[in-house]
Structure 1
Amino acid sequence: MLTLFHAPKSRSTRFLWLLEELGAPYEVRTVDIYRATTKSGARDPANPHPHGQVPALLDDGVLVTESAAIALYLTDKFPTNGLGPEVGDLLRGPYLSWLAYYAGVLEPAITTLWKQRQDEADQATYQALDDRLRTTLEASPWLLGDRFSAADMMFVSLLQFARQMLPPHAVYDDWLARANARPALARALAKDAA
């Protein structure tokens, strides 16, 4: 049985969404986390994440942490609905690239912007990120063309919390609207609010 260690209205919400999209059997264990923005909460001893953060996924005793790793783990474990291209699929490389790009480029750039510590190098990275993402979405509805994937979920989940962190292009708003219309997201948000 999969167990998602979850804190409401956090980065782990996207994994409620992914698990709902996958139709995977899972249970949720709600844990407390420290929230820097509100200076509230605390590390929960029931949370197995080594840093006391979420998400954390436990699968038959195997702990998986870090969002990109969890997305890849789950889409590989439940391949039938195509949310993560399998090895041998021509979209596998782009999928892995977008997951790594999220973790290695988008998160650090947005964190820097959020903290208002932009220098010239940071601005160049942010502009390159915007150019790559915008031109990809101008050419197709999803990061992998016509195919919705867990990579879209990773990026969109950030926009759901902080749309203002990317420039005001209609292509981002349209992408967010397409993703927000997915029935699995509605189910996940209902569980997040419970």
Structure 2
Amino acid sequence: MLTLYHSPRSRSTRVVALLKELNALDAVNIEVVTIPRQDGSGERDPKNPHHDGKVPFLVHDGVEIWESSAIMLYLADLFPDAGLNIPQGDAKRGSYLSWFAWYSGVMEPVMVLEAANLTHPFIEATFRGSLEMKQHLIKHLTDQPFLTGNEYTAADLLVHSPYSWFGKPGDPVIDAWLDRCMARPASIYATEFDNKLMSQ
């Protein structure tokens, strides 16, 4: 049994989009929970087993998986027929895995620190900066439509997702990639799914 703990308009929204892409919504129980939010609203939900009270959190037959990168890698491999993963043995598997690690280790910290107006040479030396992050994306998207080539994968879904909150960076190469990702039916579905939850 698969259970996703989800809160609307949060980091778990991208996992709902992935489940739609994987045609796996019928295989997963989505448990809606509350979370503390940056504006002071919300609260930790006793129904949520995540150790920090956050989302997303996935439980598969009693096994707990946390952090968006791990959950999305896990689900894409669990439902390979959708073609959202790059399987073991494929030459592009290493690049595909690297995007998940880069998102967690570089991209999200850089974007959060930038949004908080926090700068320091130690931070920039550790994570790189916004400019380097954008240059890395441009390098990989200039001659191909998606991060690992011609096919959209779960890596594209994860890496493009924070721009839904922060907005497009204004670079034509990155913005065109974001348009391709955001126009996918699964992304639209996840937004509508959350809007219905918020209106209840």
TM interval, short-chain normalised = over 0.9
- Whole-Å Cα distance in 2 between the matches of residues 102 and 66 of structure 1? 11
TM-superposed CA distance for 1:147, in Å, is 1.3
* Contact in 1 for aligned 2:57/2:66 (Cα 8 Å): yes
Counterpart residue type for residue 160 of structure 1: S
Cα deviations by residue, 1:130-173 (Å, 9 ceiling, x for unpaired): 11111211121110111111111111111111125xx4201122
Map 1:106-117 → 2, pairs under 5 A? 106-117=107-118
- The size of the alignment, in residue pairs, is 191
| TM-score (structure 1 length as normaliser) | 0.93
- SS of 1:139's partner is coil
Distance 2:4 2:73 in 1: 15
Q: Could you list the runs of 5+ residues in structure 2 that have no partner in the other structure?
A: none
Query: For residues 65-84 of structure 1, what are the structure 2 equivalents within 5 Å?
Result: 65-84=66-85
Counterpart residue type for residue 148 of structure 1:
Y
Pairing 1:30–2:32 present: yes
Structure 1 residue ranges without an equivalent (≥5): none
Identity between Structure 1 and Structure 2 (%): 43
Which residue type is aligned with residue 80 of structure 2?
Answer: P
**Do structure 1's residue 139 and structure 2's residue 143 form an aligned pair?**
yes
Distance 2:2 2:160 in 1: 24
For 1:1-194, list aligned pairs within 5 A. Answer: 1-24=1-24, 25-36=27-38, 38-123=39-124, 125-126=128-129, 127-163=131-167, 167-194=169-196
* Deviation, structure 1 residue 119: 2.3
Please report how far the alpha carbon of residue 8 of structure 1 lies from its aligned counterpart in structure 2 after TM superposition: 0.5
Post-superposition CA distance 1:61-92 (Å, at most 9, x none):
11111011001110111111221101001111
